[in-house]
Structure 1
């Protein structure tokens, strides 16, 4: 057996042993996130958005932003009607 064949054989055996170790029941149980972890992540994101928006109330940042956005849309629609008539 040549030196290259022997090295190839040793490398393949090492890969097989590593694969067997990684495919144990314990390692398969720990793959990916569980549903509760996704719920926790979603809750943290929702809380961050809530805090960034300034909390609740009449003057929260998101409410003001949406009101401003829709007022601008309404103005554009109103002005478009006036331009078409004139």
Structure 2
């Protein structure tokens, strides 16, 4: 199995898995971190390769995922204060 592509988007590490786990499916994932910057969970989305035929769609999905992860972390950190 090939290693997923790792990129930095909006200051956050994002993993792209293209057709590696399941044929015809792509996954984008990023971690949720605690206030000490330790990963405690992950958020991901999967879609078919046909849906991701355009590079812009993949980048848009990754952007939405990083925004969601940021929101989750902000709310989690606010509860810990």
TM-score band w.r.t. shorter chain: 0.3 to 0.5
User: Larger relative contact order (C-alpha < 8 A, sep ≥ 6)?
Assistant: 2
Higher CA-based Rg: 1
State the TM-score, normalized to the length of structure 1.
Answer: 0.33
